[in-house]
Structure 1
Amino acid sequence: MPTHRELARDHGIALATATRVYTELAEAGLVVGEPGRGTFVREQFGYDGVEPQRVAHGNRVADLAFNQPLDPGQADDLRDRLRELAATGDIETLLVQHPPGGRSTDRAVVATHLLDAGIDVAPENVLLTGGAQHGLDTVLRALARPGDVIAVDELTYPGIKLIADVQGIELAAVRHTDRGMSLGSLEKLCRERSVKAVYTMPTLHNPLGSVMGADDRSRMAAVARRYDTFLIEDATYAFLAPDAPAPLYAVAPERTVYVASLSKNLATGLRFGFLVAPTAHRHRLVRTLKASSWGTPPIIAALAVAWLRSGAITRWTHQRRIDARSRQHVAARVFSGLDYRAHPAAYFGWLRLPSGIRAVQMERTLAAQGILVSTADEFSVRPHPPAALRISLSGTPTLATLERVLETIRTELPP
């Protein structure tokens, strides 16, 4: 595409108007800006939309765009749990709508589970949701308004971008470092603008894999108190790093909403998540849950609680940690010599592409071979994303298959 100045000159419009045109085109997914190279038309080959038709399932070699870890024995365990539910004397309770946020007995089980995460909270401050995405949507609907500013990392979870777009909330990008969100940049933003909340992933940031240290967590809490903003802590992948510092909620419980789920250590299809809410915000969050879906379907809640009580979640969590480290070890070996960044316990990695290689071109080249990946523009809050891929490592069934797929990606890059 022409430069902003060329577009303005050729069409007789102001430079600011040309810039706004490119911004709207980028937001619509029609163009992508690449630093130092210009603006390019995105190839529209069915990789976007509500239900992307990427590659026919039978032609897929591997889906490295989405993490869906599963253990071979989980299907059999699901059958056993369903039989147990069918045989219980109170099965009629599964046909009755539970309270918004879940029953007190179920919330108590989750509160006990959270002790392993470093959170000691009363069951009434735990609210059950239909997954972490539902939890994030609930938090922003309850505690923010259209036009509010939410501080996020310059590369962040795509789900928060989608929620903000739908709700008319502005995401303000904050520089990210190897230690996590830059607290100097965050404080500068808070001085200059009215920041309603900070969305952060302090333990196993997605997609960069950083883990924020204890001192920085305390500093972030201090910044939030100084500017009277609340914190949204996304702990979706935190279970993979059990040695990480205490959650932000433990540091600033009066202003932190902790969001997590069992999607990655149980199954992505069983939508079971939970919020840990400060008492001051609990009523508003419950009302928002009541206005949307009321929370988690009773059958899903019963299955999840049964797995928590039996210790199955603890067992699968341990297996996930071993599996993630094994897969990450393979990725580090295959991508040795490339600009590959990942936490050793993460189920994903960040691969910066060599100069001259465009991410969307690499995405299509790999798709033609049945390999799905995510490009940086899905995660970028800024208008010019880096040329990089987010590689999910749990989308293939075996380590051997994963190694072959990663070797295929490696062969598409310069030596």
Structure 2
Amino acid sequence: MPLARDSTPNAHREAKPVKDFRSVADAVAEEIAAGRLKAGERLPPQREFARLHAIADSTASRVYQELARRGLTVGQVGRGTFVTEAPGAPAPAPALSEPADSRVDLELNHPVVPEQAGLLAAGLEKLVRSDRLESVLRPVGPAGTPAAREAAADLLARGGWRPGPEGILFAGNGRQAVSAAVAALTRPGARLGVEELTYPVLKAVAARLGVTLVPLAMDGDGLIPEAVEEAHRADPLHAVYVQPVLHNPLSLTMPERRLDQLADVLLTSGIHAIEDAVWGFLRDDVAPLASRAAERTVVVDSLSKRLSPGLSLGFAVAPAATAGRVAGALRSGGWGPMRFPLEAMARWQGDGAVDVLVRAKQREAAVRQEIAQRHLGDFRTRGAPSSYYRWWELPAPWRADTFVAAAARHGIAVTPAAAFSAGRPRGPQAVRLGLASPTREVLSRALATLADLARSAPDDFAGE
């Protein structure tokens, strides 16, 4: 039965302002921080929550997603959504949020340099000519073309290592390359070892494929090889996912001795490694783990960080024994590449554009780390000169969730440690700052704001 309408002549109602999902999420976060919503407490179903807060169902859904992203809640299938920090509560799986035009985005990390557009445009001119366009728009499989494999081998080479072109496969993007490698080397119910702080998308991939993540201890040099051995002895691991160079979020790079030790563990135990090398181009003096344990390692990489965020192409360098399985996973998942970026990549690699952009982005990373050091030097932070990340261990009494909420009220998006935690429900009281996406000036202002925020007490912002 339709709701009755006000039939009074010339009746006027004051329009209610539309609530932004972030402001509603901030209010819930404050309830949690104040202890009015306690760990383990169940939130109402989303439709009921929408009615209680006078918001649309779709807005309520985004609120719940935002709370999970901040590590404040966890959803349990068939049971509902619960406030985290309960003893034994399962780890949340927050995903990085989409960028919004109205905020400073220190979550998503897309390095851009001034010369980028001009260099890329020059390489595309011949591809978009009518006599070439038809051929570059034809379908292509995961193996690509011989010319593309040769170009990719040169593009991926670093530290004296150059992959064999015959082992290179292509995906639509880097995330698809990761998914295909996990699917090829594991199965539902398998155990996948990961660094205790790991790439958030890997957590989502494992959940979708029914793979159990096993958090492995780290130290100042990265993943501890003995932790891999211990976990494998306790219950065999099917594979290990590792970021040896410029680990996300800690910016750690494994020294050669640690890489040698990890390679020995892989070779003696028979464990496969998925080596995420997406940020490796910023340290092209370091040879990958695959140079030491080629037959046990699948390297995954992508084009977008090197060149431009809109250029989507993933790489998987697989040893002969596993290449067929990785290719099969790419086909069955619908994760194969488009021919156009394949052809563009080969042209940019051939004309030197890739090398110019890589050098420029290496220099830009150092500049941005200097900006971060200038504003955050009084705090406990970690970042490498060649990295676009900064890991910030927040000063007491700040918690990661309340700091993320306070930063959001200042129009700045940062990522809580819970997004990366593979084991503990919440992770440490820390946030990751992505330094790449804003301009230098905007980055500097945002970091100054965050530094001022961290020097204040959380209660100072309770009423905002």
- Specify the TM-score bucket, using the shorter chain as the normaliser: 0.7 to 0.9
Contact 2:174/2:300 (8 A) holds in 1? yes
Distance 1:193 1:358, change over 3 A: same
| Cα distance per residue 1:274-299 (max 9 Å; x no partner) | 11110101111112222233521111
For the pair 1:404 / 2:448, whether they are aligned, the reply is no
Contact 2:107/2:415 (8 A) holds in 1? yes
* Alignment partner, residue 174 of structure 1: 216
Contact 1:101/1:289 (8 A) holds in 2? no
Secondary structure of 1:259's partner?
Answer: strand
The amino acid of 1:334's aligned partner reads H
* Alignment partner, residue 388 of structure 1: 430
For the pair 1:64 / 2:114, whether they are aligned, the reply is no
Contact 2:158/2:281 (8 A) holds in 1? no
| Cα distance per residue 1:283-331 (max 9 Å; x no partner) | 1111222223352111111222211111101000000000000100111
| Cα distance per residue 1:39-67 (max 9 Å; x no partner) | 9xx9xxxx9679x5775x1x22x210010
Question: Which residues in structure 2 correspond to 1:286-365 (within 5 Å)?
Answer: 286-293=327-334, 295-365=336-406
Question: Which residues in structure 2 correspond to 1:53-202 (within 5 Å)?
Answer: 55=100, 57=101, 59-60=102-103, 62-87=104-129, 89-202=131-244
For the pair 1:214 / 2:266, whether they are aligned, the reply is no
Distance 1:78 1:217, change over 3 A: closer
For the pair 1:231 / 2:273, whether they are aligned, the reply is yes
Deviation at 1:220, TM superposition (A): 0.9
The amino acid of 1:31's aligned partner reads V
Of 17, 20, 32, which aligns to 2:84?
32
For 2:206 and 2:345, the matched residues in 1 are separated by 29
| Cα distance per residue 1:178-233 (max 9 Å; x no partner) | 11012222211111011001111111110011111111111111112222110111
Contact 1:150/1:195 (8 A) holds in 2? yes
Structure 1 unaligned regions, length at least 5: 8-21
For 1:117 and 1:293, the matched residues in 2 are separated by 33
Aligned-residue RMSD, C-alpha: 2.7
Secondary structure of 2:158's partner?
Answer: helix
Contact 1:117/1:242 (8 A) holds in 2? yes
Greater CA deviation, 115-124 or 196-205?
115-124
For 2:306 and 2:81, the matched residues in 1 are separated by 32
Contact 1:101/1:296 (8 A) holds in 2? no
For 1:265 and 1:279, the matched residues in 2 are separated by 27
* Alignment partner, residue 15 of structure 1: none
For 2:111 and 2:375, the matched residues in 1 are separated by 21
Secondary structure of 2:312's partner?
Answer: coil
Contact 1:118/1:247 (8 A) holds in 2? no
For 1:49 and 1:219, the matched residues in 2 are separated by 32
Contact 2:142/2:336 (8 A) holds in 1? yes
For 1:411 and 1:202, the matched residues in 2 are separated by 33
Distance 1:242 1:112, change over 3 A: closer
Q: Percent identity?
A: 32
For 1:49 and 1:256, the matched residues in 2 are separated by 27
Distance 1:23 1:364, change over 3 A: closer
Question: Which residues in structure 2 correspond to 1:7-26 (within 5 Å)?
Answer: none
Secondary structure of 1:361's partner?
Answer: helix
* Alignment partner, residue 10 of structure 1: none
For 2:369 and 2:80, the matched residues in 1 are separated by 34
Deviation at 1:91, TM superposition (A): 2.5
Contact 1:135/1:274 (8 A) holds in 2? yes
For 2:270 and 2:332, the matched residues in 1 are separated by 27
Secondary structure of 1:205's partner?
Answer: coil
Contact 1:197/1:232 (8 A) holds in 2? yes
The amino acid of 1:355's aligned partner reads A
The amino acid of 1:368's aligned partner reads R
For the pair 1:367 / 2:405, whether they are aligned, the reply is no
For 2:280 and 2:163, the matched residues in 1 are separated by 18
Query: What is the TM-score of this pair, normalised by structure 1?
Result: 0.86
For 1:65 and 1:3, the matched residues in 2 are separated by 26
Distance 1:32 1:184, change over 3 A: same
- In terms of Rg, which structure is larger? 2
* Alignment partner, residue 298 of structure 2: 257
Structure 2 unaligned regions, length at least 5: 1-36, 43-72, 457-464
Instruction: Tell me how many residue pairs correspond in the alignment.
Output: 386
Deviation at 1:400, TM superposition (A): 2.3
Distance 1:249 1:389, change over 3 A: same
Distance 1:311 1:143, change over 3 A: same
Contact 1:102/1:295 (8 A) holds in 2? no
Contact 1:101/1:129 (8 A) holds in 2? no
